[in-house]
Amino acid sequence: MKNTVGREIPDWLLQETGKQVFSGAYDDMGKSLKKERDGIESLHAVKGSAPTSKLADSISEVLDRIGLKDGMTVSFHHHMRNGDRVVNLVMETIAQRGMKDIHVAASGLFKCHEPLVKLIEKDVITRITVSTISPGPLAKAITNGKLKHPAVFMSHGGRARAIEAGELHIDAAFISAPCCDAYGNMNGAWGKSACGVLSYAYADAEYADHVIAVTDNLVDFPACPMEISQEKVDHVVKIESIGDPEGISFGPTKPTTDPEHLKIAEMTAQLLERAGYIRDGMSMQTGAGGISIAVAEKTGALMRKKQVKGSFASGGITSYFVQMLKEGLFQALLDVQCFDSAAVESYRTQPRHMAMSASQYANPNTKGCLTEQLDIMILGATEIDMDFNVNVVTGTNGVILSASGGNNDCAAGAKIAVVVTNLIKRGICVLREKVTTVVTPGETIDVLVTEYGIAIHPNRKDLREALKDSGLPIMEIQELKQIGDQEAPEVMEPEFTEKIVGIVEYRDGTIIDVVRKPVQEF
């Protein structure tokens, strides 16, 4: 068969290879025989004319362009934290169009997203998939069963896994981009709304059908660095403000002054040292709660004293780890979330402060994610039980307080996973026969440190041996429970209806628990 440059291509060759003949430089026929995503037009310029502009004037124009329909899934990252303005803007625009049944797949939602409650009540939003959520009106609305379908709580690694495996299909990813050029190269490092890394958006940018950069800082081509690059991005919208910088910095990165918290942190640091984890080449990650930060601080003090040269700190990065990097206590920071402005500044300027995707961080369905190399993980919990199962999703009264975050990802990988918490919180003992909701299975939890004592998982005979003469208040978990029951004789046993309002997925996509609607309304 002759092609359009007059070359004869034998038919037998076309049959054998399954290829087509050339039919023009810009002809759509003969495109990849297997499109990655059916029906999604590739963008290309015809000779002599400017490339098709990706710039849109408004969210509304973008929705026209992509043909968003009822029932579709939109996604967002949560790097703007409680200062985010984009989720509400996009969802309000969607609501104004009379659309229904939208699935919001945000990596995180915060108090500032309270306006979504109205949209839930009107069935504009009927599904939510989320990895972290703040206590507040939105979490309460979900608890109360306002959302038409059960919310799905995924871990950070599990969300990346689900997106990459095609289980969480995203029609349109709206990526808040503090620094972005007109072709979609973007980063989170620069601009008035700088938030640091954009790690939770990487999988969305790779796999969503339509990718929309939303920026308040349109820069000349090319944006530098190109954290997410142009060939993944369909549309670019400039708006007045994507986030409130005050809200972006995560609250308490100051160390706790609470004496009980300091006591727990001190015991944890001592435990880590006695068990041999404060050593050259060590790696560490902590949650962002007050006690966790205090553990980081005290561990840093021990490392300085012992002149330890650690390998990496990871996860959500605060000024404490930034300082430790500067001092050479760690050789690198592997960052999936900047928690404060010191972290943002460090990410900009320190080559060894590196962004990692949520997939590299914690996706179990890969050739080896970071959590598997982690030595020390310091975790929070709302509850823990006699099997060391951990709850971070609900309070004992059944109200939703958060989602999985990195809890079960890191516990599974860390060589020592330590839960740090008060035993008694607001008059209730957090150590229960059975947790209200299982998020992290006890087989991955090693130690529980509370103000009243420390329990070590029976599986960890090595730790029990190493710590038996430590002078620390180590006891069996049953003994710790007795103390807790005495100190907080009020036992809360809320009643639940049969209605399922939440599904908790383990990082591998299996269902580890469900959240039922409590009888009590919140």
Segment 486 to 505, residues that bind a second copy, using CB under 8 A = 500, 503, 505
Binding of residue 372 to a second copy (CB under 8 A): yes
Give the distance from CA 234 to its chain's centroid.
Answer: 24
DSSP letter (8 states) at residue 256 = P
Binding of residue 165 to a second copy (CB under 8 A): yes
- Euclidean distance between CA atoms 82 and 159, whole angstroms: 20
Question: DSSP secondary structure string, 292-323?
Answer: HHHHHHHHHHHHHHHT----EEEEEE-HHHHH
DSSP letter (8 states) at residue 53 = P
Binding of residue 470 to a second copy (CB under 8 A): no
Query: Structure tokens of 138?
Result: 């939105």
Question: What are 214's strand-pairing partners?
Answer: 176, 237
Closer of 265 and 324 to a second copy (Cβ) = 324
Query: Structure tokens of 7?
Result: 């070359």
- Euclidean distance between CA atoms 210 and 260, whole angstroms: 49
Binding of residue 369 to a second copy (CB under 8 A): yes
Sign of CA dihedral 351, 353, 358, 362: positive
The answer to whether 273 and 302 are in contact (CB under 8 A) is yes
Q: Which amino acid is at 245?
A: P
Binds a second copy (CB under 8 A): choice among 2, 34, 39, 246: 34
Long-range contacts formed by 366-372: CB under 8 A, 24+ apart: 369/157, 369/409, 369/413, 370/314, 370/334, 370/413, 371/157, 371/406, 371/409, 371/410, 371/412, 371/413, 371/414, 372/413
Closer of 26 and 469 to a second copy (Cβ) = 26
Binding of residue 43 to a second copy (CB under 8 A): yes
Binds a second copy (CB under 8 A): choice among 331, 341, 397, 482: 331
Binding of residue 61 to a second copy (CB under 8 A): no
CB of 255 to a second copy, least distance (A): 27
Q: Using alpha carbons, list the distances in angstroms from residue 372 to 361, 389, 408, 414, 445.
A: 9, 20, 12, 6, 14
Three-state DSSP at 410 gives helix
Stretch 83-122 residues interacting with a second copy (CB under 8 A): none
CB of 296 to a second copy, least distance (A): 19
Closer of 294 and 419 to a second copy (Cβ) = 419
Binding of residue 230 to a second copy (CB under 8 A): yes
Closer of 231 and 490 to a second copy (Cβ) = 231
CB of 229 to a second copy, least distance (A): 5
- Euclidean distance between CA atoms 332 and 406, whole angstroms: 20
Q: Which amino acid is at 354?
A: M
Question: DSSP secondary structure string, 493-512?
Answer: ---EEEEEEEEEE-TTS-EE
CB of 417 to a second copy, least distance (A): 8
Number of residues that bind a second copy (CB under 8 A): 106
CB of 110 to a second copy, least distance (A): 26
Binding of residue 55 to a second copy (CB under 8 A): no
Binds a second copy (CB under 8 A): choice among 81, 127, 161, 238: 161
Binds a second copy (CB under 8 A): choice among 39, 98, 259, 351: 351
Question: DSSP secondary structure string, 450-485?
Answer: -SS-EEE-TT-HHHHHHHTTS-S-EE-HHHHHHHHH
CB of 513 to a second copy, least distance (A): 5
Sign of CA dihedral 293, 295, 298, 302: negative
Binding of residue 145 to a second copy (CB under 8 A): no
Stretch 202-221 residues interacting with a second copy (CB under 8 A): 211, 220-221
Q: Using alpha carbons, list the distances in angstroms from residue 292 to 33, 80, 272, 385, 515.
A: 52, 22, 13, 20, 26
CB of 96 to a second copy, least distance (A): 27
* Interface segment toward a second copy; rule CB under 8 A; list 250-258, 288-296, 363-371, 425-433: 363-371
Binding of residue 232 to a second copy (CB under 8 A): yes
CB of 505 to a second copy, least distance (A): 7
The answer to whether 383 and 391 are in contact (CB under 8 A) is yes
Stretch 407-446 residues interacting with a second copy (CB under 8 A): 408, 412-413, 415, 434, 438, 441-444, 446
Stretch 263-322 residues interacting with a second copy (CB under 8 A): 281, 311-312
Binding track over 4-23 against a second copy, x by CB under 8 A: xxxx-xx--xx--x-xxxxx
* Interface segment toward a second copy; rule CB under 8 A; list 44-52, 66-74, 316-324, 448-456: 44-52
